């Protein structure tokens, strides 16, 4: 379907501004650009926000209103493993905390190129282990645990689910993967060709991200880098995979959902026609993105068996 009018206008405005692409600026400049595009949203109220250290990794805990214990959702931010932090994930963390009545643990994992693969994945797994052991401190229920992430964060959520299966825990009950990165080897999908530029995330930027995170091409075949390339996806948690029509990552996200289903995992794929990469963080500015956030929170509530 046609590009959503709000996104069409936003992209026109960005194009009119001009300026260098992400791949043309120093990493720290790219990080500042991303922070400006995805600011914190303190106006989205939750009961409490606390900065902590989770398994040696900086993190931020969001507690919903009401009486616990609450389910726990581990939140892994997007940004190609290179940009993004607790501030850029603040809006979606608050939305999920409120909408799903869940404690959200947002993880400030180490970034590339200073810390290359598998640093980000190991940090997210360590923080998840911590959450199962210390959830009660923040009124969380370690027996109701989900992993959530968008883009590179979706990659990390999928990877943590595989790590937990392979390493004997913790038990993860659900994975919410929003336009996840799943394949660092194949860049010749239809969605990469059709959406290579002009829709915020570009094919050029994805190559730039991969080159920083996993610069050795053969290492990208490791399933903890490219979860789609795992030889066995059985015994993983049920999953909701959300994709955007105008996104280079659309096809690999949907391929991961099909691969999960082929190996016996309850996996649902929902494509949001007319939307672009990044919609999970655009609920305050793009009306069409609000439905996707509502659906994500509803899926978490259902997985947690909340009425």
Just list the catalytic residues: 151, 247, 277
Beta-sheet strand order (sheet of 70-76)? 48-54, 57-63, 103-107, 70-76, 140-150, 174-178, 239-246, 267-276
Two tokens, residue 238: 């049920």
Two tokens, residue 242: 């959300």
Cα–Cα nearest to 7, from 294, 277, 293, 295? 277
Two tokens, residue 138: 């923040």
Distance linking the first and last C-alpha atoms of the chain: 34
What element of type H or E holds 49? strand 48-54
Rg (CA), the chain: 18
d(CA 306, CA 70): 10
d(CA 194, CA 105): 35
Q: What angle do CA 71, 73, 76 make, to 5 degrees?
A: 175
Backbone angles phi, psi at 5, to 5 degrees: -55, -35
Per-residue b or e along 140-169, where b marks 16 or more CB atoms closer than 10 Å to that residue's CB: bbbebbbbbbbbbbbbbbbbbbbbbbeeee
d(CA 95, CA 133): 25
């Amino acid at each position: 379907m046609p590009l959503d009018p709000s996104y069409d206008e936003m992209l026109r405005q960005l194009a009119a501004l001009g300026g260098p692409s992400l791949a043309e600026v120093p990493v720290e400049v790219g990080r500042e650009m991303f922070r400006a595009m995805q600011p914190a949203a303190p106006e989205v109220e939750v009961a409490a926000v606390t900065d902590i250290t989770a398994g040696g990794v900086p993190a931020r805990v969001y507690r919903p209103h009401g009486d616990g214990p609450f389910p726990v959702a581990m939140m892994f931010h997007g940004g190609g493993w290179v940009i993004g932090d607790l501030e850029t994930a603040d809006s979606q963390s608050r939305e999920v905390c409120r909408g799903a009545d869940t404690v959200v643990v947002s993880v400030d994992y180490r970034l590339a190129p200073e810390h290359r693969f598998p640093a980000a994945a190991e940090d997210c797994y360590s923080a998840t282990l911590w959450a199962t052991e210390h959830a009660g401190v923040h009124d969380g229920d370690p027996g109701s645990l989900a992993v959530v992430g968008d883009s590179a964060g979706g990659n990390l959520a999928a990877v943590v689910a595989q790590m937990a299966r392979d390493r004997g825990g913790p038990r993860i009950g659900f994975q919410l993967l929003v336009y996840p990165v799943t394949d660092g080897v194949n860049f010749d999908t239809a969605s990469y060709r059709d959406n290579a530029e002009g829709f915020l995330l570009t094919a050029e930027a994805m190559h730039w991200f991969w080159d920083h995170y996993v610069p050795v091409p053969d290492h990208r075949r490791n399933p903890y880098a490219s979860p789609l390339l795992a030889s066995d996806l059985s015994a993983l948690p049920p999953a909701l995979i959300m994709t955007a029509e105008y996104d280079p990552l659309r096809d690999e996200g949907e391929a991961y959902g099909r691969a999960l289903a082929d190996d016996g995992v309850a996996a649902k794929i929902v494509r949001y026609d007319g939307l672009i990469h990044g919609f999970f963080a655009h609920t305050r500015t793009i009306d069409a993105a609000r439905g996707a956030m509502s659906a994500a929170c509803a899926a978490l509530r259902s997985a947690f068996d909340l009425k």
